[in-house]
Structure 1
Amino acid sequence: MPTALITGASSGLGVEFARQLAASGADLVLVARDRAALDRVAEAVRAASGVRVEVLAADLLKPRDLARVVARVADAERPIDLLVNNAGFGLPLDFARNDVDDEVRHLELHVEVPMRLSHAALGAMLARGRGRIVNIASVAGFVPRSTYGACKGWLISFSRWANGRYGPDGVTTTAICPGFTHTNFHERMGLPPGQEGVPGPMWLDAKQVVREGLRDVARGKAVSVPSLRYRVLVGLTRLAPPSLAARIGERGR
């Protein structure tokens, strides 16, 4: 059976990726900092789908922990067929007021960590002639949205390039770019439900995001934007003047 490694697998989209990939028959390697939360997810997935689930507790911002995950991704004896770079966290949009060390950690988790894991995955996957890499980006990567948008824009650009470069060799890379999605991501930023300043119709369901994203991954697409309304929005932002695009990017938190 194929094996998928998912970072940020203890909550939010990571849990939904675990559920849907396990339902499709994939064995899992779940990575996150919280071992107890990972164990709960693993137990639920095993009970629902009967697949093998390996738990790898690691803080990806600690070099020693990141090295363990890189080694697991690169392990030729226990191949990873699908890598999902999902780990992340959010910061307030006011870069000038944010702690710069928090901004550096934000950059490391959203750019350096997926870059290192993708590099490890590519080496192993190209040797086998097959594999898929999934980078969880955001529609924020298409609009000016502080350093979060900048990080996600890097993931989108990198995924486009990697898919074109290595896709013909059997290894595809897809950036999945959700809009605002119902998970606990915003609650972890300290925002009570309903206080994000985003109209109800703009919210997506995590199941839909993962289902549409995995469909595009299977098709080998470089960029996936789940839901028609966000695909339209992304198209409009490309036509908007920079000042208007910046105001759009300030919506929500």
Structure 2
Amino acid sequence: MTTALITGGTAGIGKAFADSFARSGYHLILVARNPERLDTVAEELRGLGAPEVETLPADLVTEEGRAAVEARLADADRPVDFLVNNAGFDLGKAFTKTSAEDEERLLDVHVLAPMRLTHAALPGMIARGRGAVINVASVAAFVPRGTYSAAKAWALSFSESLAAELRGTGVRAMALCPGFTHTEFHQRADIETTSVPGWMWLDAEYVVENALRDLRRGLPVSVPGPQYKVLTAASRYVPRGVRTRVSRSMSKRW
């Protein structure tokens, strides 16, 4: 029976992954900070078909929270076949208007936690000759703007490197780079999105469907939506200095 662990699995893209896996009969491990919400979502997922849903309350900003999830991933008696590093947040402000402590918290969740959790999960996956890791990045990885974009660029590079390193092991790694997606993300960060045109928005279910299809195809990077495929492809041909100036002139939206 396939077991998947999802960080940030109670809302947004993480919840969409959990819904998809539940319908496929996966055993699930949900990681999030709020125990009550974890229990509520776990019951929903059992109703969708998940034979077992384990909840693991953990704050990935903390060493204790990361260590708890690492221990679960490394448990050889209860193997995890699929890791989705999805937990994340944005500060919603320019770098010069935030505290260094808040920036460090962001890096703890977006960089340190995925690195450590992946490092804990891979030995068992490689030994079994199967498994997958999806790191949820963003199209922001292609736009130089602040710590959030830098963290997502790290997730993209890290995933591409892993995919190459794991070739031939039976284990896959992929970066998922969605654009604007209907979730709680922007509201939580107090990011204004009313000026974003409708054609730029994606549904979380669509993002997950595309991600899993691209993973099956063996792609190291998944960019859901034709509009974002065009935008990210075009960004590779725009000089970095130009991208930086354009990015600086725009209000932060992801």
TM-score by length of 1: 0.95
Cα distance in 1 for partners of 2:102, 2:65 equals 19
Cα distance in 2 for partners of 1:210, 1:167 equals 23
Is 1:223 aligned with 2:213?
Answer: no
Q: CA deviation at 1:167?
A: 2.6
> Paired residue for 1:61?
61
CA displacement 1:157-180 (0-9 Å, x = unmatched): 111111111131111100000001
Is 1:90 aligned with 2:85?
Answer: no
Higher mean displacement: 60-69 or 70-79: 60-69
Cα distance in 1 for partners of 2:163, 2:191 equals 36
In structure 1, the residue corresponding to 2:105 is in which secondary structure?
helix
CA contact under 8 A between 1:198 and 1:252: conserved in structure 2?
no
Is 1:242 aligned with 2:249?
Answer: no
CA displacement 1:180-206 (0-9 Å, x = unmatched): 1010001111246x43x3222111111
Residue type matched to 2:55 in 1? V
CA contact under 8 A between 2:191 and 2:252: conserved in structure 1?
no
Q: CA RMSD in A?
A: 1.4
Cα distance in 2 for partners of 1:10, 1:4 equals 14
Cα distance in 2 for partners of 1:220, 1:117 equals 21
> Paired residue for 1:145?
145
Equivalent positions of 1:4-43 (< 5 A) are 4-43=4-43
Structure 2: tracts of 5 or more residues without a match: none
> Paired residue for 2:70?
70
Cα distance in 2 for partners of 1:149, 1:65 equals 24
In structure 2, the residue corresponding to 1:168 is in which secondary structure?
coil
In structure 1, the residue corresponding to 2:94 is in which secondary structure?
coil
Cα distance in 2 for partners of 1:50, 1:211 equals 18
TM-score by length of 2: 0.95
> Paired residue for 2:101?
101
CA contact under 8 A between 1:93 and 1:146: conserved in structure 2?
no
Aligned residues: 251
Cα distance in 1 for partners of 2:27, 2:222 equals 24
> Paired residue for 1:128?
128
Q: CA deviation at 1:223?
A: 0.5
Higher mean displacement: 133-142 or 164-173: 164-173
Residue type matched to 1:66 in 2? R
Structure 1: tracts of 5 or more residues without a match: none
> Paired residue for 1:177?
177
> Equivalent pairs: percent with the same residue?
50
CA contact under 8 A between 2:137 and 2:176: conserved in structure 1?
yes
CA contact under 8 A between 1:137 and 1:152: conserved in structure 2?
yes
Q: 193, 208, 211: which is aligned to 2:209?
A: 211
